[in-house]
Chain A
Amino acid sequence: MSETNMRLLVVDDEPIVGKRLKQVFGKIGFEIETYTDSATALAAVAEKPFDIVVTDLKMEGIDGIEVLKRVRAMNPETRVIIITGYASADTAELAQEHGVFAFLAKPFRLDELKQVIYRAMETDRAK
């Protein structure tokens, strides 16, 4: 599987999340942009679509559900993955309604996220 040219965007208000994911996915060849502020992240999405968006749920200003909605509105092809330390059945359901690809509870093994992203790429290819 080649990850070349797969575009990945990460938004999480804790800088460590972006830093880590940049390191991990940059190493295996993803084109990755990271943001700590959701408004700026959405501006980047508006400029050029991403294949995959990984977003935190609870953020100041625009929260993860809103990021999901707007990203999907801009480009329905984009797979959105929500990562959160506060997973509840209600938010999970809400996210499902708005077409979230996967929901991951923090802290998680980086390998788990990798698998989810590979899966997202495969469903993409299958289409």
Chain B
Amino acid sequence: MPLRDFLKGFSAPRWLTPKTCRPLPLVFSQFREVLKANNSALEIIADMGEKLSGEYLFDLRYVESTVEEMITAMRRAIDAINILTEDQFVALNEVFTPMETRVRAILNKRDDRDGLSLLWLAEVETRHWPLVGGKAAHLSELLHNPKVRVPEGFVITASLFHELLDLNGIRPEFDRFEQLLSEHLPDEEALEALRLLLHEKVLHAVPPAGFLAALSDSLKKLGESCPSPLFLAVRSSAQEEDMDFSFAGQFHSVLQVPPQAETVYYAYLQVAASLFGAKAILYRRQVFPEGGTMSIAACCQRMIMAQASGIIYSVDPMEPGSQSMVVVGALGQGQAVVEGQVPTDFFRISKGEVVQVLERVIAAKHEALLPTGDADGGLEMHAIPEAQVEAPCLEDHILLELGGLALHLETFFKRPQDIEWTLDPQGILYILQSRPLLITESAQGAPRLSEKLEGYELIAADVGRVAQQGIGAGPVYWVETLADLKDFPEGAVLISHRDSSQFVQVMQRAAAIVTEVGTPASHMATLCREFRVPCLVGVPDIMSKVTPGEEITVDAEDRRIYRGRAVELLTYQATTTMDLNMAPEFRMLRRILREVSRLNLVDPLMQDFKPEGCKTFHDVLRFIHETAVLHLVDLGRDDHCFPGGLARRLDLPIQAGILAIDIGGGIAPDAPRDQIPFSAIRSIPFRAILQGMLFPGAWHQETMPVSFRDMMHSMMTTPQDTLSGQYTGHNIAIISETYVNLCFRFGYHFNIIDAFCHDVERDNHIYFRFLGGATDIAKRSRRATLIATILEAFDFSVKTRGDLVIARTGNLVQSEMERTLDILGRLIGFTRQLDVQMTDDQVVARYAEAFLMGDYGVVAEKR
């Protein structure tokens, strides 16, 4: 082979790489294998996601066995794509292995071991939660919330804790200790001896090489961003802390620590050793009688010079139904308040639309816990000047601000909150901690609940599906187009016809979400579970039953919607001791899904669309799917292997020039070999698209007058286009009974529709991509905007970039899928040559409206 040809083999694009010609039925069966393996893995992922809604009862055994099934399905999909492409993507195996390892680590509860030993609070993401512990996890969530101020700082993670166990040779004792804790009747003496030993050893643990230097760097960096003098609060953040159980006051905190690495490290060791404190272990055995693993991290935050500090409960724990919040506070640092060292002021504030102070009981405050003033740090009691003793610790306007914050945090975390606050000398409020407020169930509570609720009008009962369990109440807010989201009020209930992943923008502010159509397997449902928003989907006609602004209560447990604010139900929620989302089984499943179900790889035009760009299981599956389709499309064009044999021409009343490749059940068996009539198309999604294209008036037969300038433009720009390689060839539809992959060009634009449609709604999807045009980029972009506007109106999630439009939707019932595909067919016809007419932005709006009104003739009128 001449050297030139040899080198050409390397530089050729992937789809031009010469392939061996395999028999057609074999290729198709391999392609179908890929789709099948892909779908089955996706199905398992969707199934696991659905379990998180709270509507199901599952246990750890379910999680374990399903993860095994999922990994097997993933390996099968990777094998299948390599069989189809003759090992072009063996790299996927290497990419997948670490993903599998991470998931197994979660399953084995070892995901608190690998990771950085120091993490800035601001950098903590949900995937770091096992590393940073419960308290730091909640704080990091708050740090990303613009309404809340949290003192800056970093976390010494659980990964360091494990490193210390290994480095200091106490791993065997630790393992033995956890083993004993999980025994029904452990040897108490051995347990106590181990507890003391671990406490002592951790307290004197030697740090790993380089750790103190890294800690010193972090302290220096913190010092640069904070007002001086800098002192730190080093607080515990254990694995289970502030999750299902508060562990309030069980672990050690060290306050007013000077910013030297050794001192902070020593404070950290005190915190870490308190995992083995006598009272912490006693508490742990009470709340986790079955045992379980536990590690500890520590938050190191800037100490706020406290003018006053205290606690606010977003619900009065003594009277949960009273619609009031309770504040206690004192002067100086809050530790004196939580440990009951000083008398405190008591305030009750109303929870209604306008927050008001309802009650004040001011204590005589003779002392306050304040810094010693020494460089060595520490706090001590200081006498209060006589004039201030009787004054309230908070002025009214600060009290009301605090009340507003507590309301916000309750909506944000979707549960009543127990919040630790502090006020700095400038009058700025900081949140030091926010955890679920647990209220003891009153004896007369539950059995009478149903009777109490009889007083409320039931708007809906036993309809729809639970996408996320929970109870939420608030004023109704209709979302008809995505633009409505911009004005979404705090604490409202979102009501919409369709679900949309775009709702994520308001989930932190929403009390609940109800949609008329949708499924618990949608992207929106997944997001609801992440943000803990109670959500019911598929509640018919809800929009006609509620009016914007009126208060309703959504019970996304028993699938009921009440008119008004069902206080008894909200009280009930606050008094049930179990927050499902915090249960260990749910947290494990959620962690696994985080590794698995996120989609980062969206479009093959993006640069990281390659095996190495895959970060999650879902990315791998998306890559495999796209690659398989492209492979088949290339093959369909390959005259070398299948000279004219693969594709069959359609005989349609419009000049669409489509060739179909049937991979199973897409065309009637008795159809002619060539010139297939519409009536012979059996593919459900393809038929629906064609139906739309053939809709009277949607397809314009006339050629649009292209100006000389436009013509010149298209001739000069098209060959450089990124997709020019795919502009050649035919309009090809790869179809089966339930699938269509339609790639085609009209003039100079390029379209892909990939759709799967059958009677299982969660499998159903539509992926639509549109690019290019014959005119200048401004006109083409306007057409892209037009298409995007129309698709958004039909609840597609849409991305545009210049003249590229990517839109997707799915999880729809078959009839809704067919309707949507029909609309896409009309849209293709409607916009086919429209870019020529896109002379200004007003045209875009006018045409979008015309299309939505079904006035397809507007195109011809313009001429």
Contacts and interface: CB of A to CB of B under 8 A. Distances in A.
Contacts of B584: 16
A14 B446 contact: no
Interface string A7-33: 000001011110111011011110100
Interface string A52-63: 000000000000
A16 B55 contact: no
A107 B51 contact: yes
B578 A23 contact: yes
A107 B447 CA distance: 27
Contacts of A109: 55-57
A85 B59 contact: yes
A36 B288 CA distance: 13
Contact of B572 (A19, A27, A106): A27
B447 A16 contact: no
Contacts of A116: none
B572 A15 contact: no
Contacts of A14: 59-61, 585
Contacts of A21: 57
Q: How large is the interface on B (under 10, 10 to 19, 20 to 34, 35 or more residues)?
A: 20 to 34
Interface string A34-77: 00100000000000000000000000000000000000000000
Nearest to A4: B447
A113 B290 CA distance: 26
Given A23-B578, A24-B557, A26-B446, A15 B58 contact: no
Nearest to B290: A15
Contacts of A27: 446, 449, 557-558, 572, 576
A113 B576 CA distance: 21
A113 B58 CA distance: 13
Nearest to B55: A109
B456 interface: no
A113 B447 contact: no
Contacts of A12: 59
Interface string B547-582: 000000000011100000000000010001010100
Pick from B59, B447, B450, B557 the residue with the most CB of A within 10 Å: B59
A15 B55 CA distance: 17
A90 interface: no
A19 B578 contact: yes
A3 B60 CA distance: 30
Interface in B250-295: 290
A108 B449 contact: no
Contact of A110 (B55, B61, B65): B55
Given A14-B61, A23-B576, A85-B61, A29 B55 contact: no
A63 B311 CA distance: 48
Nearest to B244: A19
B762 to A, nearest CB: 15
Contacts of B57: 16-17, 20-21, 83, 106-110, 113
A16 B572 contact: no
A113 to B, nearest CB: 7
Nearest to A3: B450
Contacts of A4: 447
A111 interface: yes
B62 interface: yes
B850 interface: no
Contact of A29 (B62, B446, B576, B578): B446
Contacts of B580: 20, 23
Interface in B440-496: 446-450
Contacts of A26: 446, 576
Nearest to B63: A107
B562 to A, nearest CB: 14
Contacts of B447: 4, 29, 31
A109 B50 CA distance: 10
A20 B583 CA distance: 10
Nearest to A2: B450
Nearest to A22: B578
Contact of A106 (B59, B290, B446, B559): B59
Nearest to A85: B61
Contacts of A83: 57
A26 B449 CA distance: 10
A107 B62 contact: yes
B56 A107 contact: yes
B62 A28 contact: no
Contacts of A23: 576, 578, 580
Interface string A107-121: 111110100000000
Interface string B501-531: 0000000000000000000000000000000
Given A29-B448, A107-B62, 8 more contacts: A15-B290, A16-B60, A21-B57, A24-B557, A28-B450, A107-B58, A107-B59, A109-B55
* 10 A-B pairs with least C-beta separation: A107-B58, A14-B59, A107-B56, A26-B446, A16-B585, A107-B62, A29-B447, A85-B61, A29-B450, A19-B578
8 contacts: A12-B59, A16-B583, A16-B584, A20-B580, A29-B447, A83-B57, A110-B56, A111-B55
